[in-house]
Structure 1
């Protein structure tokens, strides 16, 4: 199961380049010098955050660079600090070169660059090159000849750095455009500029190229008159406009506060558009402002609710954060009330983050995005980023103390509440149709409009409407804001007289009442109002109605317009198929849908959104055959948008936008091959992205549906079954995983034979299943059967063969055949380097395995050095310390350090690694358990016996619960714990535990297995501690003979038994033999581990050696 890496963008290249450059500077190798570097950076940039010091210098440097990239002005401070501390170093010159050449495209997220491009495109629509060429010429003359329009000019400028200053040509260019175009584009550009200035952390004037200021033009706004209908970018337009002028507030009503788009978004929850003038824009946006929908320019009423909500959120409570909930039926405007509150009070918060919460995937996606925005030192996988965000908000580890999280459409309390921060000084606001929130939160109920609010809304949209007519319409529509908004849009679009419209409503109401098949929710005037519009849309643009019908099977979350580009993978209806092939027709269809208020178009996000109530009415109008057709059409559109790359980080955003609609449309029920491909790749995406519980749930649902419709022998069902088994094992459902692995192999063998590629892959999964069951010999038998077949059929360089070789190496290692495993792993690593590249995750996996072979073969010092290099390579390839490949290397390095004698370094790294595993996967994940077991050993070596015992007991219990009492890894945990028990003074209890463990290992692995020998070594020490030197001698002599034969005379474990045996002899009065054996062992220890290794020093002090077992990966 390979996790593919993402494509490197400019920001990644800058980050990696800086990290590599700083690592090359000799002074950065010491903690003291890195601290000095940070101090110098902070002198020039006071907002530079605290940077966590990590055991490895490269990890510390990564944190320094990431913190600089969060506030790019810190990069310039870093440049100055480096030239002060190490001006002549090649690494300094390289770092300065990278910083000086870093343009906007390296320093600003891609989605924000796209937003700016769209605004600039709007600014330049319909204008000739002559209108803007002087602006470009003043900023960067050499770009002019390469630019065909404003957007291409911006793109050219975005890659140009500030040189040795701080002024970015692209920002100066945007500032010039801002002062020269009309509203609303200028307002959106001002907002965008303000966000960049906050990101950079310096004054706006520092970011603009120096020149003479422009004359003040109405506080940065264009002059009245025809100036707002044309671009005027003549001489001086690129000059240094005071930033306060560019970003000055607009006095014009209807300009959204801090919003990048003047289009009204649709149903982010309950969507209503209201009609009173907006409140004045807030003077300051929060420093972090994420995914907040645009403010309604005509919000109506709700003043009492807004006041009560503000009072509740202002209340300070000493206990854990208690959410504030807005609940009410669909269509009453809960979300719009929250949006208005957030915009009205934005200046009172440092961080505001809007989270669509109806589906788990939406919450995870939003919190991952927040982690990236906060610059947390975590990878973009959900199981890494989400716990990090919660921890940062809970503990105040971020600089944004006053935060507000809005969970919109949070219908399931049980699913959403685990994502709430429980500490910190922030606030949580929830919108929901679920009234049960009143039982767990401070709640306000949102009802329909008052009659006066309904009338105000209607008369503001259509001023010619009389008070009486407005009252009649409001009465007919039940004052439901969403229905009132729909009726107002209808009248604005058609100009139909009120009496005629009310007559249509009555007709539709009668039709609904006569239709006994219509659900109860449709038998009212609200559904009638939408049916009036839907009938009209059918007459005006049938393809638009068909598009709406297809989208009614999607989630009520935003639908990317990218889903509509080109033809679907299979036909839907002739009118819709033609429209999807023609962008002009598609645009017209979407405009017609929007004109009748049946959906909302968000130009900023390029999405279409349909309220759930409208979707319900649309589906209710269709007969069963139409529903089947349109649902299939929805599946076809989703399948067409499948990026077919679930392992690539760069495509995860597409899967995140697809998944809510894949789930809502019931795509798992389709047997169309293209849709099944989408479903399977969605399963893979969820795994790679780190939502393992969500992945399991989705995969189980898909498997159940496919199994019922296609049977267990179908090729696609079998493929999913194998993957489902893998996911079950990842989340600890081992028994269920083994069952499906074994059944899948039987089916593959019956249907395709053992030389089929899928059969061979199933064999490897069964070998993994055997290892899960603790049957290491059985796993080796399966692997030894599969690997030669792969080699013969596909050749030694084929990925299938290499995967089989890696699996066989794992089994050989677990059966204790370290030298044979090392020979195979060496070949596999070389071939994977050649075929996949040095930095591929599978290549690094085999490298880690090879180093474990080296370590377990007794070359502790060499393995520690190699594992340190492997960790460096993994960090270079994957950047984040909590990447699975990096954490695997970190865990192995902690073990290698301990074995090599660096107990302090091992403990430091173990503490960090265990915390990362726990945060990402939880305590019951296999790698968390093995890392915890190693941490318990490190605590024992540090003398922290109570901590070692507590952690050892907890981990042993987890092994028993997940793998069973007799699994070798469970027994290993028991062996390691027994050492602590003896050192705490209870030798008899330790003996009983080791006696039980030795019997189990003899049965499971055999008397000559290295783990069995380790346990036997410790059992003899238990006997010695109990005063039975003769019994200890008897055991040690047997164990030494076996160890010399199996491990070799120079292996440290063999030497440990030799030291103990010498102490047995001395206790028995056999001094001459003891001295001779002890001297020989001391010489070998010095050769193998060195004079200062703790094992050597302990032997010199005549202290008994204890041996531990590392639970190697399965």
Structure 2
């Protein structure tokens, strides 16, 4: 038997299959037949029927001649019988229409929620199901929308296969909707497949399509009609049946689909989902934990974009490289890798770069301003681009974009053009745009380095224009700062990437640093401050007055973090520059002096702090007037020093004057007024005026929570003050609640080694002692002592305070030797710091006297009680509770008798 002709022609079919890297089983699954049948076709034992010839041509996109499918009339009659027998053995398969032109993607991963949503909307009752009445009218079509390469077609393919497995639809039909020509071609092919279709030879295209739609509308079996790449929905709409037992699914890059279809938007893959997909695609399913983490890093770099992950997986599989190798290659050869498609890319042969290139070209021709907007968005932080930035930053754009953003109609036309291809998203309620990071990357790579630098400079200059000028002192601007913070951080990356150093770049970094510092985001603020200072030094020289601003900001930042040595160095340098460049009486000199005084006070250097505050106060009063807000800063700082020194009579009028200035110049609930309010409350607490102190602390708490929210470090200060107040009042439950909240805020926001944490630990230890929890109290005291010694130094007055608490605990436990050592060290520190007449010294003396009394050393106790009483009577007055306490103890001491 001579089968040479058949064999030669069917070798073409075999070659077409191998070119797609398909097995015979894969081809059989696509066609709805058996692997044995495919083997017969390729070996020339059997010719495909007309039904399968049409499906093969559609699947491979080739003619019957190109696939060797032209009928051979010389084939013996037995072959015809075999063909008839094969068809007869699978009547269900021959009745079911299946024209999906893609193999099932064996690497498909995730998207379960989206597929379930499609199933709920598209699945219809199965034939013969009497529980649900048949619907004559179609439900609204369902659209899968999103950026090119995001996985829309793959999701549609996977849904089609799952639908066939579950028997949701009898017929599943695929229409390529990329253009009207291919839509018509797909319908013509479909005409040859429909059973009992009398009009398959109709030559008039419109009549043929109308007849196919009628067939679908009258078909009593459930069907699913998929329009793939339906980017022009107006073009597709006339081809959609209006009724029948079917469902319509569209895949489209268009954003505005509501007039035609319900829609689900496909986003990039999540981290876990993307990692699983990449491992699957790269054939690394047995990955170690290290490989898994490296794969996750690749997913992050590619922002979870499915097509890019598929390309990466193909590259890793084909080259055998590691995930880490790919990541390094991507950093240096981004556009090359995004343009490279793997060898086994039959379902989606285009790369990321190729997928978008035609869209970019179309936009460039249709609306050049929209193309410029896309270029600009490539240099902005991608997730939240405020629309007003585009308008307010207009002076920095090219002329064509300037004109478009300033005209509302033209602005919407630009966005419409970009939304057609889902290249951007519009966040309507927030008045923002977003763009995928890979779209940004491809856009940038299409520019030469000089053009990239131009756009980066424009973006930075515009963000500098819109970012508030003084976010540190104006709470009203904070919401706007927050809105643009991502853009400033994006600018910071551009400055580093392109080595940019111009004044606007430094300005916007410094102002954002002020906002972040005010909100205790110190780790984010520090690098912005540092880069701003570096730019200014490069542009202006190390002694320019502007350098002082960068130095004082860093000094303030370090002081808030408890890094007082570093803060002092920056403050001193700023003071020197401003004194030399601006003169000793300039207001900026006062600013540097005030910052330096704050640092000295925190270090316990009260004499130096007092001197700097007094000088700053004098300069500001002379230059700005006695009622200026900055005058209140010096007044408050000076009052704090006097409070620490126990000079209560001198501190109180300074606090009251500072509060008056704030209330006269600003609203009474302004954040600045909280500083003197806190100081005045602390003063009243020291004087035993607890009922006067409490409302001040509560007012401060209310203001700060309103301004910053409940978890800001500033809020912890009034909480801590209230805790101390309630300890004095004996309300330990309330004190514990406030103290624990303050401790949690400081630990979380400032870190476990910040000096403020030690204050909360001290209070916690006191409360534990009150409850008899001595082991816990000792642990808290020791941790507080360690923090203060490490951060403040071993001779700081606050170290003396903790040592005294620890000594009291040891005394309570009868550990007298350890207690005496702590008392003696505490008194020595206070004496060295010239604080022997300070209220804190009086407290230590009182406690040490009680220690001596417990050991029956009456005369030693009397000496220390008398010293404590003298200090307290002078500083607190004879009616202060603490003065009375010491007097009572002194009176209660037994009188000594002269020796016989």
Fold agreement, TM-score > 0.5: yes
Q: How has the CA–CA distance of structure 1 residues 957 and 596 changed in structure 2, closer, same or farther, with 3 Å as cutoff?
A: same
Aligned residue pairs, count: 631
Residue aligning to 2:638: 808
Shift of 1:728: 1.5
TM-score under structure 2 normalisation?
0.62
- Are 1:933 and 1:955, in contact at CA under 8 Å, matched by a contact in 2? yes
- Distance in 2 separating the partners of 1:596 and 1:934: 61
For residue 878 of structure 2, the aligned residue among 1049, 1070, 1074 is 1049
Offset, 1:1015: 1.8
Residues 332 and 651 of structure 1, relative CA distance in 2, 3 Å threshold: closer
> Pairwise mapping of residues 685-700 of structure 1 onto structure 2 (< 5 A)?
685-700=515-530
Aligned-pair distance for 1:949?
0.9
Say if 1:337 and 1:545 are closer, same or farther in 2 by CA, change over 3 A.
Answer: closer
Does residue 1002 of structure 1 match 2:831?
Answer: yes
Task: Provide the rounded CA distance (Å) in 2 between the counterparts of 1:732 and 1:434.
Answer: 43
- Pick one of 143, 147, 151 that aligns with 1:254: 143
Would you say the 8 A contact 1:643–1:654 is kept in 2? no
What pairs up with 1:401-412 in 2 under 5 angstroms? none
The 1:816/1:303 distance shift into structure 2, 3 A limit, reads closer
CA distance in 1, matches of 2:816, 2:267: 77
Measured in 2, the distance between the counterparts of 1:1056 and 1:339 equals 75
- Say whether 1:663 aligns with 2:552: no
Contact residue 593 and residue 616 of structure 2 kept, 8 A? yes
User: C-alpha offsets along residues 520-539 of structure 1, whole Å, 9 cap, x if unaligned?
Assistant: xxxxxxxxxxxxx56x8767
Matched, 1:783 2:753: no
Q: Quick check: 1:937 aligned with 2:766?
A: yes
CA displacement 1:272-318 (0-9 Å, x = unmatched): 66555277799xxxxxxxxxx9633999xx999569999xxxxxxxx
The aligned counterpart of 1:746 is: 576
* Residues 554 and 665, structure 1, Cα contact 8 Å, conserved in 2: no
Partner of 1:211: none
C-alpha distance in structure 2 between counterparts of 1:900 and 1:304, whole Å: 58
Of residues 1033-1042 and 639-648 in structure 1, the stretch that sits farther from structure 2 once superposed is 639-648
1:648-683 deviation digits (Å, cap 9, x = unpaired): 443244123413422222189655554443222211
Residue aligning to 2:355:
485
Match of 1:632 in 2: 457
- Does residue 600 of the first structure (1) align with residue 424 of the second (2)? yes
1:862 aligns with 2:688: no
CA 1:433–1:678 in 2, change beyond 3 Å: closer, same or farther? Answer: farther
Q: In 2, Cα distance between the equivalents of 1:721 and 1:639?
A: 20
1:734 corresponding residue in structure 2: 564
* 1:968 aligned to which of 784, 791, 797: 797
Structure 1 position 764 matched with structure 2 position 734: no
Q: Give 1:883 deviation, angstroms.
A: 4.4
CA contact (8 A) 2:678 2:696 kept: yes
Kindly tell me: are residues 643 and 865 of structure 1, through their superposed partners in 2, closer, same or farther at Cα, counting changes over 3 Å?
A: closer
1:303-359 CA-partner distances (Å, limit 9, x unpaired):
99569999xxxxxxxxxxx9996454799783448999xxxxxxxxxxxxxxxxxxx
State the Cα deviation string for residues 72-106 of structure 1 (Å, max 9, x = none): xxxxxxxxxxxxxxxxxxxxxxxxxxxxxxxxxxx
Q: Determine the structure 2 residue equivalent to 1:128.
A: none
Residue 488 of structure 2 contacts residue 509 of structure 2 at CA under 8 Å; is this kept in 1?
A: no
Q: How far, CA to CA, are the matches of 1:1054 and 1:890 in structure 2?
A: 27
CA contact (8 A) 2:804 2:844 kept: yes
Counterpart selection for 1:892 from 721, 731, 734: 721
Report 1 or 2 for greater relative contact order, CA contacts < 8 Å, sequence distance ≥ 6: 1
- Matched residue, 1:334: 304
Distance in 2, matches of 1:326 and 1:274, equals 24
The aligned residue for residue 223 of structure 2 is none
What TM-score results when the alignment is normalised by the length of structure 1? 0.51
Structure 1 pair 331–808 and aligned structure 2 pair: CA distance change class (3 A): closer
Distance 1:294 1:816, change over 3 A: farther
Q: Is the Cα contact below 8 Å between 2:548 and 2:575 reproduced in 1?
A: no
Q: What is the Cα-based RMSD across aligned positions, in Å?
A: 4.5
Residue 775 of structure 1 and its aligned partner are, at CA, apart by 0.4
Contact (CA 8 Å) 2:671, 2:704: kept in 1 or not? no
Mapped contact 1:669–1:706 kept (Cα < 8 A): no
- The aligned residue for residue 882 of structure 1 is 711
Name the CA distance, whole Å, in 1 between partners of 2:819 and 2:267: 74
Find the residue that maps to 2:265 and give its secondary structure. coil
State the alpha-carbon separation in 1 of the partners of residues 307 and 562 from structure 2.
43
**1:843 alignment partner in structure 2:** 673
Specify every segment of 5 or more residues in structure 2 that has no aligned partner in the other structure, as ranges.
1-113, 118-132, 163-262, 282-291, 311-322, 329-337
In the TM superposition, residue 752 of structure 1 has moved relative to its aligned partner by 1.5
Instruction: Summarize the alignment of residues 1090-1101 of structure 1 with structure 2, pairs less than 5 Å apart.
Output: none
Say if 1:639 and 1:674, in contact at 8 Å, map to a contact too.
Answer: yes
How far residue 1008 of structure 1 moved from its aligned partner, in angstroms, is 1.0
**CA distance change for structure 1 residues 696 and 307 in 2, over 3 Å: closer, same or farther?**
closer
Distance 1:272 1:577, change over 3 A: farther
**What whole-Å deviation, never above 9, does each CA across 1:938-962 have from its counterpart, x for those lacking one?**
2222322221111010011001111
Residue 456 of structure 1 aligns with which residue?
347
2: CA distance between counterparts of 1:883 and 1:333?
32
Match of 1:651 among 455, 460, 480: 480
Q: Which residue of 2 aligns with 1:1031?
A: 860
Query: How far apart, CA to CA, are the structure 1 residues paired with 2:268 and 2:600?
Result: 65
Question: What secondary structure does 2:562 align onto?
Answer: coil
| Separation (CA, whole Å) in 2 of partners of 1:761 and 1:486 | 54
Secondary structure of 1:456's counterpart equals coil
Asked if the contact 2:842–2:868 (Cα under 8 Å) also holds between the matched residues in 1, the reply is yes
User: Is the CA contact (8 Å cut-off) linking 2:339 and 2:353 kept in structure 1?
Assistant: no
Provide closer, same or farther for how the CA distance between residues 688 and 1041 of structure 1 changes in structure 2, counting only shifts above 3 A: closer
Q: 2:778 maps to what in 1?
A: 949
Counting only pairs closer than 5 Å after superposition, residues 272-287 of structure 1 correspond to structure 2 as: 274=153, 276-277=155-156
CA contact (8 A) 1:971 1:1000 kept: yes
Deviation for aligned residue 1:783: 1.0
- 8 Å CA contact retained: 1:636, 1:675: yes
1:17 alignment counterpart: none
Name 1:20's counterpart in structure 2: none
- For the 8 Å contact 2:506–2:535, the answer to whether it is kept is no
Give distance in 1, aligned partners of 2:858 and 2:495.
71
Question: How much does 1:641 deviate?
Answer: 3.3
SS of structure 2 residue aligned to 1:950? helix
Shift of 1:999: 1.4
Q: For 1:574-613, list aligned pairs within 5 A.
A: 574-587=399-412, 599-602=423-426, 604=428, 606-609=432-435, 611-612=437-438
Equivalent residue number for residue 393 of structure 1: none
In structure 1, distance between residues paired with 2:704 and 2:403:
50
Counterpart-to-counterpart distance in 2, 1:575 and 1:693: 40
C-alpha spacing 1:644/1:789, structure 2 compared with 1 (3 Å) = closer
Task: Give the C-alpha shift of residue 607 in structure 1.
Answer: 1.5
Q: CA deviation at 1:706?
A: 2.2
Question: 1:159-238, aligned counterparts within 5 Å?
Answer: none
Cα pair 1:952 1:973 within 8 Å, conserved: yes
